[in-house]
Amino acid sequence: GAVVSQHPSRVICKSGTSVKIECRSLDFQATTMFWYRQFPKQSLMLMATSNEGSKATYEQGVEKDKFLINHASLTLSTLTVTSAHPEDSSFYICSAGSGGAGETQYFGPGTRLLVL
Amino acid sequence: SQQGEEDPQALSIQEGENATMNCSYKTSINNLQWYRQNSGRGLVHLILIRSNEREKHSGRLRVTLDTSKKSSSLLITASRAADTASYFCATALTGFQKLVFGTGTRLLVSP
């Protein structure tokens, strides 16, 4: 099956610093990747849709200058949380699309971010 | 909000019993998917049912879809302690790449 990895699995940083999270599709090419945020015991909230070689499409209410997304290749997308604050602490999950619109997504294991 | 609603929010059963979770959504869909999430982990795809399908099976899983009522159900038969997880429905909206996730059902299966 399709495998998606995320790195790091958890990160602790000081307020004001930037944190980069990588999402890689290991055994297939992903033209589309998605970034989600999940609070404890809640559902996934889509932050943005990332298409290889073009600008990400952000969901309403998500600050694009705060959450920088780069999808430079068919196997790698990165999310950078800039000038992180304690309220940015959350579980961030990426997924890669398997093909056409609305098809199965393959999820990474998630990254737990704690901002002190 | 486009987010789907799931019920129950939490379900606690004994091993061997069946577990049924329901999902309702609001708009026209291309397909509906069910995912499972173990605590603190990523999501695992379980099953996809297209808008022109009414029922689908995969092992101990049975999914139904009623587009007239905009609802779906996931049945897990003969549950096991290892089925303990959160289960989410996700709808693929017509014309969109993204999925919209439901609120989730936390299932606890006791030995």
What does the pLDDT look like over B33-89, one tens digit per residue? Answer: 999 999 889 999 999 999 999 999 999 999 999 999 999 999 999 999 999 999 999
Q: What is the pLDDT of residue A69?
A: 94
pLDDT digits (tens, 9 = 90+) for A38-97: 998 889 999 999 888 888 999 999 999 999 999 888 899 999 999 999 999 999 999 998
Closest residue in B to A33 (Cα–Cα)? B98
Peptide bond into A40 cis (omega under 30): no
User: What's the rounded Cα separation, in Å, for the pair A115 and A88?
Assistant: 7
Interface of B with A in 68-97 (CB under 8 A): 88, 92-93, 95-97
Q: What is the pLDDT of residue A98?
A: 65
User: What's the rounded Cα separation, in Å, for the pair A9 and A68?
Assistant: 19
Q: What is the pLDDT of residue A77?
A: 94
Question: Quick one: DSSP state of residue A47?
Answer: E
pLDDT band at A104, cuts 50/70/90?
confident
Cβ contacts of B43 on chain A, cutoff 8 Å? 44, 93, 95, 105, 107
> What residues pair up with A115 in beta bridges, in sequence order?
A13
Cβ contacts of A112 on chain B, cutoff 8 Å? 40
